[in-house]
Chains A and B, each alone.
Chain A
Amino acid sequence: MTATGQARRPLIVADSMTAGYELERERKLLTALEGVSLTVHEGEFLVLVGPSGCGKTTFINVIAGLVKPWAGTVTFDGKPIDGPGEDRSMVFQDYAIMPWRTVEHNIQLPFELRPHNFSKAEVAEKVQDIIEDVGLVGFEKSFPYELSGGMRQRVGLARAMVTQPKVLLADEPFGAVDAMTREVLQAQLEALVMNAGQTVVFITHSIDEAIALGDRIAVISNRPGKVREIVEVDMERPRLAEGEITSHPRYGELREHLWNLVKDEALGAQDAHHDDSETTGDPRLDRLSTSPATTMDPGI
């Protein structure tokens, strides 16, 4: 997994890529990333850190094929990215698992959405295997609302890994999970990924998490985001299987270096004013409560 020293094959290549959003209500364009050039090598674990609102999610969404860049190119395996593909899976910050599906049905969703050649029994076996890998045994028939945040993200992770994708994209997957569960999940992720030899692009706002997981750490500057520096983490794996990673001799140096980089950016950050509550921008909806049992209907 540590690709250092081996011949590294570029897998995802962003070349002076610019991306952003049309703000419909304010009728203007918002540039999230400007001229980003970054290469993700096959089999590496690349971590993106940077101040909030600098465009990390946008970058990972471009790779996922959810957001189209305005300018520049992003290629996957030499071909321009045009929409999502089965070689790329994603773990979301807010889990994004279907609340009406049980754990096992959530995890088997990728097999329902894309054509494949596996029999029903084979799919069931893959689902069961990954359930064991992420530690969800006994919760196959549970619904997400019956699970803790950490358990929910295990479902998200299992759903992303069940198809053994070439690339795993993870957008602050453990951001909303409590510290203890987070360490367990990090170790689990490291083990899973080392096992399958996946390429990973992982976003975090935690420097410790970045050092714990990353082969390389790309520090993104303030919006519009650019790659400010790439830091190699020259620490052998597995790092999280046992013992405290913080006692590693390289740890302190790396942490300080990264902290200085990130601190500059964080201090310079303008407040990103896009609220994450996905509004539809429809004023009629604002007057409705999100609870379905209310309408403005006056009755008779």
Chain B
Amino acid sequence: MTQKVNSQEPTSKKSTDGAALTAQPRIKDAEWTWARIWTRYRFAIVTVINLTVFFIIWQLLAHFEVIGPHLIFPTFTDTLRALKIGWLGGQADDGTSFELLRDFVIAKNAWESLQRYAISMFIAIGIGIPIGLAMGGFKWVDAILSPYVWTLSSLPRLAIYAPLVMIMGIGESIKYALIILTAIFPVIINTWAGVKTTEQSLINAARVFGAGRAQIYKKVVLPYTLPFVVSGIQLSLSRGLIGVVIVEFLTGASTLGGLGWLIFRSASAFNSALTYASLMSLAVFALILVQGTRSMEAKIAPWRQVSKT
């Protein structure tokens, strides 16, 4: 019984902070002053003001054609309209829009890109982790693969697109190959680095307490490497996004080439509203992706966060 109470102590120590807050008598609504609202919501308030000002300036710059004609720099309201049609449908009826801006055109192309991206990332991570583990764990695998991995990962990926395209043409498979090639190295290198930097004293401890080679991998090297893999995946995810856009830029599809294709295609057709609408869609997706994966390492390996500080 006492043990049970005791065993809960460390967790309850954390939760008491929260409990103490809720246990305190709540401040009455009457006491809500502007100062209070400000201190609580100032970040949200500043962001809203910030963005509003940004969009107003954009609108003014475009409206008075300061940067260039509408063909080149769309108004904010035109961009919003393109966003609405592109995502939700409702054909443009004023005859001013170009052929490209059709119902759901952004949604369809985004879906196209998302599939391509997801499959490529799945493959990149799926083969990147084993390659990194093998390179970290076996000297001869490291020796054989090392020149390729380090050359390719240091080389700007755009440079290897040309020879690869020469070999494979711009088919669907080359797209996957290029995206995977763009994305895979952070996973490989981080995984490798995790295995290589596993603390010798932890391995020694495991050996003293009876671990053989297989157990050292299972009980020490893999758990130690996990947070490295996670941040490798994070990096690879944003690399992959770059890869998708570039690959779609290179493809000469006439319709449905993906979000990257739509951005470049609409730009060369001077449908600037659609370009900016697609770009904004991509930005929101990238933002969600980055923010979503940001805390992954902290959640999976809280000890690393603490030891870093």
Contact = CB atoms under 8 A, between A and B. Distances in A.
The answer on A and B forming one complex is yes
Interface of A: 61, 64-66, 84, 86, 88-90, 92, 94, 96-100, 109-110, 112-114, 128, 137-146, 159, 278, 280, 282, 284-285, 288, 290-293, 295-300
Given A96-B199, A138-B6, A280-B197, 10 more contacts: A84-B209, A96-B202, A97-B205, A113-B210, A141-B8, A285-B197, A291-B308, A292-B228, A293-B235, A297-B235
A293 B231 contact: yes
Tell me what chain A mostly uses at the interface: helix, strand, loop, or mixed: loop
A138 B12 CA distance: 10
A297 B153 contact: yes
A278 B226 CA distance: 20
B: contact size bracket: 35 or more
Contact of A138 (B7, B193, B228): B7
Interface stretch (B72-80, B110-118, B182-190): B182-190
B307 to A, nearest CB: 6
Contacts of B200: 278
A145 B307 contact: yes
20 contacts: A64-B208, A65-B207, A65-B208, A84-B207, A84-B209, A89-B208, A89-B209, A98-B220, A112-B219, A113-B206, A113-B211, A137-B3, A278-B200, A280-B196, A282-B196, A288-B189, A292-B190, A295-B235, A297-B239, A299-B239
Interface stretch (B37-45, B281-289, B295-303): B295-303
A110 B210 contact: yes
Between B7, B11, B200, B231, the greatest number of chain A beta carbons within 10 A of the residue's beta carbon is seen for B7
A24 to B, nearest CB: 12
Contact of A88 (B6, B158, B208): B208
Contacts of B258: none
Contact of B201 (A92, A142, A288, A300): A92
B235 A143 contact: no
Nearest to A86: B210
Nearest to B7: A140
Contact of B204 (A66, A110, A114, A128): A66
Contacts of A112: 219
A99 B303 contact: yes
Contacts of A142: 10
B157 A300 contact: yes
Interface in B139-153: 146, 150, 153
A276 B154 CA distance: 31
B181 to A, nearest CB: 10
B194 interface: yes
Nearest to A162: B209
B215 interface: yes
B282 to A, nearest CB: 15
A114 B234 CA distance: 37
Interface in B207-235: 207-211, 215, 219-220, 223-224, 226-228, 230-232, 234-235
B209 A292 contact: no
A139 B154 contact: no
Contacts of B7: 138, 140-141
B302 A113 contact: no
A66 B157 CA distance: 45
B156 A300 contact: yes
A68 to B, nearest CB: 13
Nearest to A106: B205
Contact of B153 (A64, A146, A296): A296
Nearest to A276: B201
A192 to B, nearest CB: 18
B242 interface: yes
Contacts of A141: 7-8, 10-11
B176 to A, nearest CB: 16
A66 B208 contact: yes
A46 B207 CA distance: 23
Given A99-B307, A138-B6, A292 B194 contact: yes
B189 A297 contact: yes
Nearest to B306: A145
B202 A300 contact: no
A90 B205 contact: yes
Given A98-B223, A278-B199, A292-B231, A143 B185 contact: no
Contacts of A64: 208
